[in-house]
Amino acid sequence: MLKTIILALAAAGTHAFPAPRDLAEQHFPNNLVVKLSVASGLLNAPTDGRIVLMLAPNGTDPLEDTDVTSSPNAIFGKNVYKFGPKDTVTFSGGSNISTETGVYGWPNVSLNQTPPGRYQVQAFLTKYETVTRSDGSKVSVHFPCGDGAPNVNGFGSLTTPPVDIDVIGGAQTLELKFENITAVEPFKGKEIGGCNQANYEETKNLKYVKIRSKKLSEFWGRDMYVGANVVLPAGYSANDTTTRYPVIYAQGHWDGGSGAFRYSKDDEFTAAWDKGVIPGGNTTADRPAPKLILVTFRHEAPFYDDSYAVNTANLGPYGDAINDELIPHIEEKFHTIRAPYARIQEGGSTGGWESIANVIFRPDLFGVCFSSYPDSLDFHRHQDIELYRAKNAYRREDGSFVPSIRTHENRTEVVLATAALENHWELPFGTASRSSNQWDIWNAVYGIQGYNNYPLEPWDKVTGEIYPEAVEFWKPMDLSNYIVSNWNNSRNLGKTLAGRIYVYVGSWDNYYLNEGVQEFQKRTDAVGGAGWANITILPEKRHGGNYQDREIWDYLTLVDSWIKDHGPNGTSPLSSEVTAPTTRGNQWEEVIKRGGRAAAIARQAPPAINSKEKITKGTKLDASVGRWDPGMKLEAQWALNGKPTGKAFKVKPGKTAHYKAEKKGRLELWVTGSKRNYDTETRRSNAVTVEK
Ligand SMILES: *[C@@H]1O[C@H](CO)[C@@H](O)[C@H](O)[C@H]1NC(C)=O
Ligand SMILES: *[C@@H]1O[C@H](CO)[C@@H](O)[C@H](O)[C@H]1NC(C)=O
Ligand SMILES: *[C@@H]1O[C@H](CO)[C@@H](O)[C@H](O)[C@H]1NC(C)=O
Ligand SMILES: *[C@@H]1O[C@H](CO)[C@@H](O)[C@H](O)[C@H]1NC(C)=O
Ligand SMILES: *[C@@H]1O[C@H](CO)[C@@H](O)[C@H](O)[C@H]1NC(C)=O
Ligand SMILES: *[C@@H]1O[C@H](CO)[C@@H](O)[C@H](O)[C@H]1NC(C)=O
Ligand SMILES: *[C@@H]1O[C@H](CO)[C@@H](O)[C@H](O)[C@H]1NC(C)=O
Ligand SMILES: *[C@@H]1O[C@H](CO)[C@@H](O)[C@H](O)[C@H]1NC(C)=O
Ligand SMILES: CC(=O)N[C@H]1CO[C@H](CO)[C@@H](O)[C@@H]1O
Ligand SMILES: CC(=O)N[C@H]1CO[C@H](CO)[C@@H](O)[C@@H]1O
């Protein structure tokens, strides 16, 4: 779940949430045009990429104010293709249909809707690199570089200096020039292979590891790295190979050089950890701290600041890279206990989902998860969207907007943003799920590849219309669906996972994530009996904090006692049966076979006339319009002897077109499909000869 918005919540106060703007282009009170060029020497070769243009309120740094819940920073985006050192790109209007080639804006679609006034204006160009992945899919994406894949102004971006501009409310042209390149702080540390997942400077107890992932590099066709921040317990000695420690793998967002877990972010905790004592405070004596190794992962990825730590058709085999390449490397390098009972998954929000998903998919590797306020565990509620039932992701049947961020004041719910507002806010940052923002990464992780090579989106990002066929492909990532459908087969998850899943969420979760947890509980209880998964829903708690809102040492003590209980000498050791290799899921081969390029091609079919090759005049014909990706808008046209005959007509995928053969000749059905972020394509049916 959102990496930055939570910070804005505290400050958001009592703002009424802004209503999403009407998407239709309304009147055009002004005619604002922005022309962008490049200072000489800044761009060596033409590049593809995304330009984001920001108009922040007077006196505000555009980069300080990009958030969906903060003040109205108008943001416009446009893709560029082969943008060269001598080229100029023009922003004007707002794209009505195509976000692929047009300008798209937030909170207004069009630049012409910008209210007159003074703004601080700045533009950013994110460069894309085009790669052909091992499954044959070809994408243009931005590869992050030790900066956590921000949605704008990432490493290597071209930027214009921020300038104060008065928008006058009439015809006006602004000229801006890219003059700078965004760098990241120079790394102090032992670096290998460049800035991707950067290695930082180590301290006595904080170590950095980084490996080139063979599996990811093979998929992406370029060098790809994964890294980890490793915090060692007090008394750890590199030379003592007999003392071994359990490991907490703490999942979450990009953690850069700031340390693992809460280590080094919280001085008091760090000092106590380094001493190996739990401070007793004024009333109790100090106690020895649990001896654990704490690890976080660094896996900034082309679509987001982290990969969600599982195997997915759009991001590649990140689950395997972390679990089968990086963890063995960590276990080689540090004195860990190499057994599932001593490998713990934990995390909150995004990390909450990652931690539970890793135990559910890899019971052979990990013992247990302590998952806090996880991203939607069950897509009956994707946040507050009823994904399997609703027709629209943004509006309910009664016309009201589906909320997405809330807080509570005086025990009353205050909505801060809607699903529509957040999705529209993402649009200027990137097309085809490339905004490096929350809803887009969910599309990339939960969904498969579309025929356009990019994530197959579950709904129209502009209108919110849900595509049930695309949603169907999300089911393997719907964690309760996955558990129930593997309940008693060879994975035997009913038995395998019993007693190994701990989930916590507050009933006032700011992102409505309690709803997905409740759906998960309902479905797993229905097959496993009440309490099959240990779920805590604390009344009136919000998003954040440790598992069950425990104080940190209280939490670590709970984890430590789980490890002791489930170790070989504990009260309920994990049996080899529940950690057998057969329990493993989310296999890369299956994931890519089902969701990669070959599957996308196999989903397509040209139109087909159902008839003999030769027919006589007067015959009535049926034709299928072909198979297309969900969301394609189709227009059909009968053709005789290679020329259109009659009028073009709209058809729906899966439907049948009818024709009565009145004239002689070679008859075909042509169907043209179009969709935002897809190439418009015309497919022709088989030919049928109409004889007299
Ligand atoms: C812009 O803000 C500055 C203070 O930051 C103020 O002095 C100035 O009057 C403002 N200008 C306009 C046009 O609003
Ligand atoms: C941006 O580029 C200009 C011109 O080359 C230079 O004077 C300025 O210091 C640069 N600014 C930053 C923040 O690098
Ligand atoms: C570990 O052993 C090496 C020699 O093998 C020695 O140089 C080093 O000081 C030892 N480190 C510790 C922490 O004992
Ligand atoms: C602990 O003692 C310090 C001073 O000795 C005091 O300031 C603090 O309030 C005490 N804390 C509690 C919880 O009693
Ligand atoms: C909450 O209560 C305070 C004090 O009564 C009041 O000032 C504030 O407006 C209330 N907020 C809301 C959202 O009702
Ligand atoms: C397996 O589980 C399903 C429900 O998930 C149930 O319908 C079926 O009867 C079970 N089969 C066996 C053999 O227990
Ligand atoms: C669930 O886990 C908590 C610890 O987080 C424990 O106190 C509680 O007894 C467990 N509930 C069940 C039903 O096992
Ligand atoms: C389990 O107990 C045996 C016998 O006391 C001991 O040798 C062994 O180290 C213990 N194993 C663990 C993991 O504590
Ligand atoms: C009014 C306006 O901005 N119309 C645009 C609609 O989208 C197409 C495709 O990008 C543009 O060419 C139009 O200018
Ligand atoms: C025409 C139009 O919809 N303009 C709106 C653009 O967005 C701002 C908020 O940033 C509104 O105040 C305008 O009304």
Rounded mean pLDDT of the chain? 92
Look at residue 12 in the predicted model and tell me its pLDDT: 33
Paired residues of 690 in beta bridges: 615, 665
- Whether 562 lines ligand 7, by a CB cut-off of 6 Å, is no
Residue 383 maps to a domain? no
Residue 409 maps to a domain? no
Look at residue 486 in the predicted model and tell me its pLDDT: 98
| Spatial contact of 662 and 649, defined as CB atoms under 8 Å apart | no
Contacts of 435 (CB under 8 A, 6+ apart): 151, 426, 427, 428, 429
- Whether 84 lines ligand 7, by a CB cut-off of 6 Å, is no
Look at residue 94 in the predicted model and tell me its pLDDT: 84
536 and 611 belong to one structural domain: no
Which of the listed residues 550, 584, 618 is the one where a domain comes to its end? 584
Contacts of 328 (CB under 8 A, 6+ apart): none
Q: Among residues 354, 323, 362, 590, which one has the least CA distance to residue 493?
A: 362
Please say if the pLDDT value at position 42 is more than 60.
Answer: yes
211 and 305 belong to one structural domain: yes
CA atoms within 13 A on the CB side of 167: 23
Look at residue 344 in the predicted model and tell me its pLDDT: 98
The owner of tokens 């000092």 is 271
| Mean pLDDT of the region 233-248 | 96
CA atoms within 13 A on the CB side of 442: 25
- Whether 488 lines ligand 6, by a CB cut-off of 6 Å, is yes
Of 93-97, 188-192, 356-360, give the range with the top mean pLDDT.
Answer: 356-360
How does residue 255 score in pLDDT terms, banded at 50, 70 and 90? confident
User: Which residue range(s) make up the domain with 684?
Assistant: 604-691
Look at residue 17 in the predicted model and tell me its pLDDT: 36
How does residue 366 score in pLDDT terms, banded at 50, 70 and 90? very high
Atom number in ligand 7 closest to CA 531:
13
Least confident range of 159-173, 222-236, 255-269: 255-269
SS3 69: coil
| Mean pLDDT of the region 564-593 | 98
Cis peptide before 107 (omega within 30 of 0): yes
Mutation pick for ligand 6 pocket among 486, 488, 492 (CB with most ligand atoms within 8 Å): 488
510 and 624 belong to one structural domain: no
Q: List C-alpha distances in Å: 477 to 22, 249, 304, 331, 602.
A: 33, 21, 18, 28, 22
pLDDT tens by residue, 386-402? 999 999 999 999 999 99
**Spacing, Cα 73 to ligand 5 middle (Å):** 28
Mutation pick for ligand 5 pocket among 410, 411, 415, 416 (CB with most ligand atoms within 8 Å): 410
Please say if the pLDDT value at position 15 is more than 80.
Answer: no
Q: What tokens does 1 get?
A: 């779940």
| Mean pLDDT of the region 188-199 | 84
| Mean pLDDT of the region 25-34 | 71
546 and 661 belong to one structural domain: no
Strand order, beta sheet including 225-231:
206-212, 225-231, 293-298, 247-251, 343-348, 368-372, 501-506, 534-538
How does residue 616 score in pLDDT terms, banded at 50, 70 and 90? very high
Look at residue 692 in the predicted model and tell me its pLDDT: 82
258 and 177 belong to one structural domain: no
**Spacing, Cα 288 to ligand 4 middle (Å):** 21
Residue 91 maps to a domain? yes
Please say if the pLDDT value at position 54 is more than 70.
Answer: yes
**Which is more confident, 17 or 107?**
107
Q: What does DSSP assign to residue 113?
A: G
Residue 482 maps to a domain? no
173 and 230 belong to one structural domain: no
176 and 42 belong to one structural domain: yes
CA distance 111 to 54: 11
| Span between the terminal Cα atoms of the chain, in Å | 65
**Spacing, Cα 536 to ligand 7 middle (Å):** 8
- Name residues contacting ligand 10 (CB within 6 A): 21, 26, 72, 74, 107-108, 113, 115
177 and 220 belong to one structural domain: no
How does residue 66 score in pLDDT terms, banded at 50, 70 and 90? confident
Amino acid at 439: W
Sign of CA dihedral 333, 334, 335, 339: negative
533 and 647 belong to one structural domain: no
Give the residue, by CA position, lying nearest to ligand 1 atom 8: 58
CATH of the domain at 215: 3.40.50.1820
Look at residue 109 in the predicted model and tell me its pLDDT: 85
| Spatial contact of 310 and 354, defined as CB atoms under 8 Å apart | yes
How does residue 199 score in pLDDT terms, banded at 50, 70 and 90? confident
| Spatial contact of 438 and 479, defined as CB atoms under 8 Å apart | no
Residue 278 maps to a domain? yes
Residue 105 maps to a domain? yes
Please say if the pLDDT value at position 445 is more than 50.
Answer: yes
82 and 224 belong to one structural domain: no
| Mean pLDDT of the region 132-151 | 96
Please say if the pLDDT value at position 230 is more than 90.
Answer: yes
Q: What percentage of the chain reaches a pLDDT higher than 90?
A: 84
Q: What percentage of the chain reaches a pLDDT higher than 70?
A: 93
CA atoms within 13 A on the CB side of 265: 8
Q: Among residues 243, 43, 253, 63, which one has the least CA distance to residue 158?
A: 43
CATH of the domain at 644: 2.60.40.10
- Give the chain's radius of gyration (CA, Å): 27
Q: Among residues 207, 300, 319, which one has the least CA distance to residue 254?
A: 300
Report which bound ligand comes closest to the CA of 182: 2
pLDDT tens by residue, 470-482? 999 999 999 999 9
pLDDT tens by residue, 481-509? 999 999 999 999 999 999 999 999 999 99
- Whether 411 lines ligand 5, by a CB cut-off of 6 Å, is no
Give the residue, by CA position, lying nearest to ligand 1 atom 14: 118
Look at residue 14 in the predicted model and tell me its pLDDT: 29
- Whether 180 lines ligand 2, by a CB cut-off of 6 Å, is yes
Residue 171 maps to a domain? yes
92 and 139 belong to one structural domain: yes
pLDDT tens by residue, 285-320? 999 999 999 999 999 999 999 999 999 999 999 999
Residue 542 maps to a domain? yes
The count of domains in the chain is: 3
- Contacts by 526-530, CB closer than 8 A, 24 or more apart: 526/484, 527/483, 527/484, 527/487, 527/494, 528/487, 528/494, 528/498
What global pTM score does this model have?
0.93
563 and 616 belong to one structural domain: no
CA distance 250 to 493: 23
Least confident range of 106-110, 384-388, 515-519, 601-605: 106-110
Q: What tokens does 84 get?
A: 């060269």
Q: Among residues 518, 523, 446, 444, which one has the least CA distance to residue 477?
A: 446
| Farthest CA pair distance, the chain | 103
**Spacing, Cα 210 to ligand 10 middle (Å):** 47
Contacts of 277 (CB under 8 A, 6+ apart): 234, 286, 287, 288, 289
| Angle, in degrees to the nearest 10, between helices 438-446 and 419-426 | 90
